[in-house]
Amino acid sequence: MFNSFLSNNRLRIFLTFLCLGSLSLQAQNVAPFKENDRVVFLGNSITDGGHYHSFIWLYYMTRFPTMNFSILNAGIGGDRVIEMNKRLDGDVFGKRPTVLITTFGMNDSGYFEYNDAEADKFADKKVNETYQAYKEMEKRYQELDGTRIVLLGSSPYDEEAVIKDNNSLKNKNKAMQRIVDFQKKSAQDNHWEFLDFNDPMTQLNHANQVKNPSFTLCGNDRVHPDNDGHMVMAYIFLKAQGFAGDKVSFLTIDADNQKINKSSNCTVTDLKKSDAGISFSYLAKALPYPLDTLARGWGSKKSQFDAIKVVPFMQEMNQELLTVKGLKKGNYNLLIDDQQIGKWSNQEFEAGLNLAELSNTPQYQQALRVMYLNEERWEIERRFRDYAWVQYNFFLPKGLLDANNRKAIEVLDQHAPNDGWLSAKRDLYAKAMFPEVRQAWEDQMELLLGSIRKTSIPVERKISLVRAN
């Protein structure tokens, strides 16, 4: 259902996505997470430093505020399946996943050789190499007991965007799509779940590049999605879980007859009618989804909020819909907890007002607090991912995995001056090598999660529609 506030631009976005993306999503299903799930996302830098999994968790935090489950990041920058296999036991299975979600392909398919004369042979080599490494992973996954497996086709490498000082690697994404194909086949053969990011994101890129050739969901390097790209990934994932059409709440009031016509996911009491308008107490069972308007992260140009220019997230998954019929002709001030939110006509209230679009409502402000707490949690979790990078990319080949002693730091200091990535993580490792520091970080995340659980519980609001002078 569309309310009167959907602009023509949003309608065009919705129809465009219906044409381009929905057909490829309809056949893809990922079961929703359930109580006490421990969901682990295994991947490369797109998972390691990306937000798509935290955006997914934020949806659950606000939509199912009493649900107890967790999403854990097991991404490491630069990883291929070959490297992932080496850390399955300690870094992945050690997190005790009830749901294990795995994505790869960007690093596995290689990079600059696609501009060489024998690019096709190189692509064949990389795809075969990845397949052979994946067969090891597949065997390990088949041995798991009580763990749901979900395979994710990687977000694409964008070959078509016009980006200054960044010439594309031709046909790299075609090699990535071949990797997606054998992931899908493996999921079918093993009765696992599968979801592809590559095709729908590529279609969205192409559709938007018709008008803006520089548009991309894949970041300025064509590899790492910006915040809007990660939100699109979260949208695709949540859509595959069946949440399209689910509303924060739905309420229709007949003001003239002082009656609740329809309500969903909320409770309304103490409905009163007066010459000035109506008032009632409103308790929703969920919060609106908050969309960050800042371009967070190193090198980011776009915000999470920018995703709604591309996909119909607001229309499909973020509707806190208030409809009031039978109001006398005129304009009405909307007040929530005695705070003026805005002014709309009786016709606009009759068409329906999506409160989730209004960032100044008390419930949206409550959801923002959840968002910021979740962002703090994500920042601390990222320290553990940098620590894991040092352990598995540097210490493991040297026989010093989890040594965390003076010898380890001395070896690190010997190599850091000639390795920019290692040098950048030296200070963090010097702290994280001590178990007391790691435990303090874990405690901080638990404290944040406790605050999130308390903050995300909806509270009763007093809503009034008061006729404007």
Question: Structure tokens of 469?
Answer: 């002078």
The residue segments making up the domain with residue 377 are: 367-455
How far apart (Å, rounded) are the C-alpha atoms in residues 189 and 183?
Answer: 10
Describe the crossing of helices 198-209 and 227-240 by its angle, rounded to 10 degrees: 130
Angle (nearest 5°) at CA 386 between 85 and 423 = 115
Last residue of a domain, one of 240, 267, 300: 240
pTM for the whole structure: 0.94
Question: Structure tokens of 104?
Answer: 């790869």
Is 323 among the domain residues? no
Is 200 among the domain residues? yes
Is 359 among the domain residues? no
- CA-CA-CA-CA torsion for 336, 339, 344, 348, nearest 10 degrees? -20
Last residue of a domain, one of 217, 240, 263: 240
Each residue's pLDDT tens digit in the chain (469 positions)?
333 333 444 544 554 555 444 444 545 689 999 999 999 999 999 999 999 999 999 999 999 999 999 999 999 999 999 999 999 999 999 999 999 999 999 999 999 999 999 999 999 999 999 999 999 999 999 999 999 999 999 999 999 999 999 999 999 999 999 999 999 999 999 999 999 999 999 999 999 999 999 999 999 999 999 999 999 999 999 999 999 999 999 999 999 999 999 999 999 999 999 999 999 999 999 999 999 999 988 889 999 999 999 999 999 999 999 999 999 999 999 999 999 999 999 999 999 999 999 999 999 999 999 999 999 999 999 999 999 999 999 999 999 999 999 999 999 999 999 999 999 999 999 999 999 999 999 999 999 999 999 999 999 999 999 999 7
Residues near 340 by beta carbon (within 8 Å), at least 6 away in sequence: 333, 334
Q: Which one-letter amino acid corresponds to residue 262?
A: K
Is 329 among the domain residues? no
**Phi, psi (degrees; rounded to nearest 5) at 339:** -105, 130
Is 298 among the domain residues? no
Count CB-CB contacts under 10 A for residue 118: 10
Is 169 among the domain residues? yes
Could you tell me the CATH number of the domain that includes residue 80?
A: 3.40.50.1110
